[in-house]
Amino acid sequence: MTRVAMLAGGVGAARFLDGLVRVVEPSDVTAIVNVGDDMEWSGLHISPDLDTVTYTLADLVNPETGWGLRGESRRTLDRLSELGGPDWFMIGDLDLATHLYRTHRLSQGDPLSAITRDFTARLGLECMITPVTDDRLRTVVGTDAGELAFQDYFVRRRASDPVHSLRFDGAESARPAPLVEEALNAADVIVIAPSNPFLSIDPLLSVPGVRELVIANRSKVAAVSPIIGGEAVKGPAADILQSLGHDVSALGVARLYDDLAEVFVLDDADAALASSIESETDMRVIVMPTLMTDVEAKMALASGTLEAARNVP
Ligand code: FO1
């Protein structure tokens, strides 16, 4: 039995989890998911990363985008646009039901974590998926155009603004959701997903107590690099490394994770960086293929990561 807790963002984390639940008992897995990307849309509460992880594990996700539901249409969105409503954020007709369900239950006073538990159980998932907090937490992106709400920066403006700063509104008073502390303490392995360190992992660590618990459990933490060959597999991680003055490479990411993780998983393409990472940080480096192109690749990455994290020298 291997209990695994994962610090998770959206698409990269969802793909890793899809492999993970095929190599360990799904009921031994807890995904602690970022909610800094959450937003209000036409009066509805949207939790993109929770939904991306859930839809992926339920085999419902749109494979072309990595988010949203397979086979949904944009008829409602097009109608909303005709009425003069917002149409820059693609809410599909089937996805809309999730937001109606979640928003209604939030309005009745149910916590996001309980709603997520019921929703994922309905979809037949055995692994635990929890928001990092039930409290309001919002990523705010500092750019030349001023401070932008996360989805304004990411979707509306296509992540094209250089990022000067990031803050997580609400973090100071947020409390970890009920399962979070227990999952981190009980885990045999904690995985930092191949997600954006600034936009996905930092908001999780900004919730008081979470960073401290990860550090306290450092000997069982493995971080997977989201940067391969100096480029992000998806999204603006490389641009943000650059604009915030970090090395645009897996080494730049490794420096950020040194106090958190014992093991750093590096792609084959970056094997030449292994010795500098090992000499500059206190992490053990494991080199393996990290591109999650198919189910076999996801499973191999998940089992390789677990093995490395459990194999304390
Ligand atoms: N990403 C986009 O690039 N464009 C969209 O219109 C968009 C809509 C969307 C709707 C629901 C959802 O759950 C996710 C959606 N995403 C969209 C993805 C999402 O904004 C980002 O991938 C994450 O927030 C970053 O992890």
Q: What is the pLDDT along the chain (313 residues), one digit of tens a residue?
A: 899 999 999 999 999 999 999 999 999 999 999 999 999 999 999 999 999 999 999 999 999 999 999 999 999 999 999 999 999 999 999 999 999 999 999 999 999 999 999 999 999 999 999 999 999 999 999 999 999 999 999 999 999 999 999 999 999 999 999 999 999 999 999 999 999 999 999 999 999 999 999 999 999 999 999 999 999 998 999 999 999 999 999 999 999 999 999 999 999 999 999 999 999 999 999 999 999 999 999 999 999 999 999 986 6
Instruction: Tell me the angle at which helices 48-57 and 11-23 cross, rounded to the nearest 10 degrees.
Output: 30
User: Which three-class secondary structure state does DSSP give residue 148?
Assistant: strand
The Cα 146–Cα 122 span in angstroms is 41
Pocket test for ligand 1, best of 69, 98, 154 (most atoms within 8 A of CB): 154
Per-residue confidence (pLDDT) for residue 103, from 0 to 100? 98
Per-residue confidence (pLDDT) for residue 85, from 0 to 100? 95
Per-residue confidence (pLDDT) for residue 1, from 0 to 100? 85
Ligand 1, atom nearest to 55 Cα: 13
Give CA separation, 99 vs 41, 59, 71, 119, 264, in Å: 9, 19, 17, 11, 36
| CA 285 / ligand 1 centre spacing (Å) | 32
From the candidate CATH numbers 3.40.1080.10, 1.10.10.10, 3.30.70.990, 3.40.50.10680, the one assigned to the domain spanning 4-138+169-310 = 3.40.50.10680
The Cα 233–Cα 93 span in angstroms is 28
pTM over 0.75: yes
Strand ranges in 152-269 using DSSP code E only, listed in sequence order: 165-169, 189-192, 221-224, 227-228, 231-232, 263-267
Tell me the domain boundaries of the chain.
Answer: 4-138+169-310
Distance of alpha carbon 240 from its chain centroid, rounded?
16
| CA 236 / ligand 1 centre spacing (Å) | 13
SS3 readout for 243-310:
HCCCCCCHHHHHHHHCCCCCEEEEEHHHHHHHHHHHHHCCCEEEEECCCCCCHHHHHHHHHHHHHHHH
Distance of alpha carbon 272 from its chain centroid, rounded?
27
Ligand 1, atom nearest to 9 Cα: 26
Per-residue confidence (pLDDT) for residue 313, from 0 to 100? 60
| CA 89 / ligand 1 centre spacing (Å) | 7
User: Which three-class secondary structure state does DSSP give residue 109?
Assistant: coil
Pocket test for ligand 1, best of 17, 78, 95, 155 (most atoms within 8 A of CB): 155
Ligand 1 touching residue 154 (CB < 6 A)? yes
Which residue CA neighbors atom 21 of ligand 1 most closely?
A: 48
For residue 191, which phi and psi values (nearest 5 degrees)?
Answer: -110, 130
Ligand 1 touching residue 95 (CB < 6 A)? yes
The Cα 191–Cα 89 span in angstroms is 30
Ligand 1 touching residue 51 (CB < 6 A)? yes
Per-residue confidence (pLDDT) for residue 311, from 0 to 100? 80
